[in-house]
């Protein structure tokens, strides 16, 4: 019999959640100074993913703000790598999730920040935020504190997944066909589109934010990194849903993602787990 996971220290987490929200808001404002700027250039990294000066500047700002208040926390970011810590907490950063949209002036991008608590069973996401600066929206959550949806300065409301329990009745979102092709699992998309009531391509973190706030029923992605998944395990858990890889493994360190209410999630995992994808 395994021992229970050590609890996440309440005061320490509360301090980080307050900071996380403030950092995400400030980072979001920084992205807007680059957004739709005619001089913004796009480079390709070694893995052919795009990056801009805004991505790098935003992650630098986030890291600097975290280090100022929590110098012993670990850091993992898309643009500037991993830095170990000693506090038992690690921040996972995607400064601009949806760089393709951002670089083309499409507002469906976000700043993603997650906070992991490191336990003897591995890291567990205990807080996270998806900041959507160009839309004036934020979805955030913390363990046992609920999931919240904020829009254009209005009071926060509870974020809740939908109650649609059958895939045949569901509206499912995913970023795009090319990710299934790159992951070597186009047949999974064929099966998903045949089984789902409707499918739409809403792109990156915006698709997951829609599912977490009940504006679509599920999100499925075949190509993920820890910083892409970052805040969503705790957001979906607190919103009444489930976030996992296609084989049902929880957390952010799988290479695939499926998110929905528990019944719909179970049906999606049963459909998807038999298809090869990134490992």
pLDDT at 278: 58
- CA angle at 246 for the pair 212 and 59, rounded to the nearest 5°: 60
Is 10-158 assigned to CATH 3.40.640.10? no
As a whole number of angstroms, the distance between CA 263 and CA 260 comes to 8
Give the C-alpha separation, 187 to 200, whole Å: 17
Is this structure's pTM higher than 0.75? yes
Q: Round to whole Å and give the CA distance between 52 and 250.
A: 31
Each domain of the chain, given as residue ranges in start order, spans: 10-158, 167-272
Q: What is the pLDDT of residue 5?
A: 53
* The CATH classification of domain 167-272, taken from the options 3.90.650.10, 3.20.20.120, 3.60.20.40, 3.40.190.80: 3.40.190.80
Low-confidence ranges of the chain (pLDDT < 70): 1-6, 277-279
């Amino acid at each position: 019999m395994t021992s229970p996971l050590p609890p996440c220290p309440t005061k320490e987490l509360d301090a980080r959640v307050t900071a996380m929200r403030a950092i995400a808001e400030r980072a979001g404002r920084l992205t807007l100074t680059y957004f739709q700027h005619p001089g913004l250039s796009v480079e390709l990294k070694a893995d052919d993913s795009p990056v801009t000066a805004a991505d790098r500047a935003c992650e630098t700002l986030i890291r600097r703000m975290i280090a100022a208040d929590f110098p012993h926390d670990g850091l993992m970011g898309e643009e500037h790598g991993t830095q170990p810590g000693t506090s038992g907490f690690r921040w996972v950063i995607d400064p601009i999730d949806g760089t393709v949209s951002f670089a083309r002036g499409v507002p469906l991008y976000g700043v993603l920040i997650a906070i992991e608590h490191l336990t003897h069973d591995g890291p567990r996401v205990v807080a996270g935020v998806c900041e959507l600066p160009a839309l004036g929206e934020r979805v955030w959550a913390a363990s046992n504190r609920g999931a919240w949806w904020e829009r254009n300065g209005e009071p926060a409301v509870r974020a809740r997944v939908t109650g649609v329990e059958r895939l045949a009745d569901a509206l499912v979102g995913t970023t795009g066909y090319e990710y299934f092709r790159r992951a070597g699992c186009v047949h999974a998309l064929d099966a998903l589109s045949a089984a789902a009531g409707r499918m739409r391509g809403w792109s990156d973190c915006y698709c997951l934010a829609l599912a977490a706030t009940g504006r679509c029923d599920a999100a499925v992605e075949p190509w993920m990194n820890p910083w892409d998944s970052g805040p969503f395990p705790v957001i979906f858990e607190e919103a009444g849903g489930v976030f996992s890889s296609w084989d049902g493994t929880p957390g952010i360190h799988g290479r695939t993602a499926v998110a929905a209410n528990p019944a719909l999630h179970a049906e999606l995992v049963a459909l998807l787990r038999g298809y090869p994808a990134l490992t």
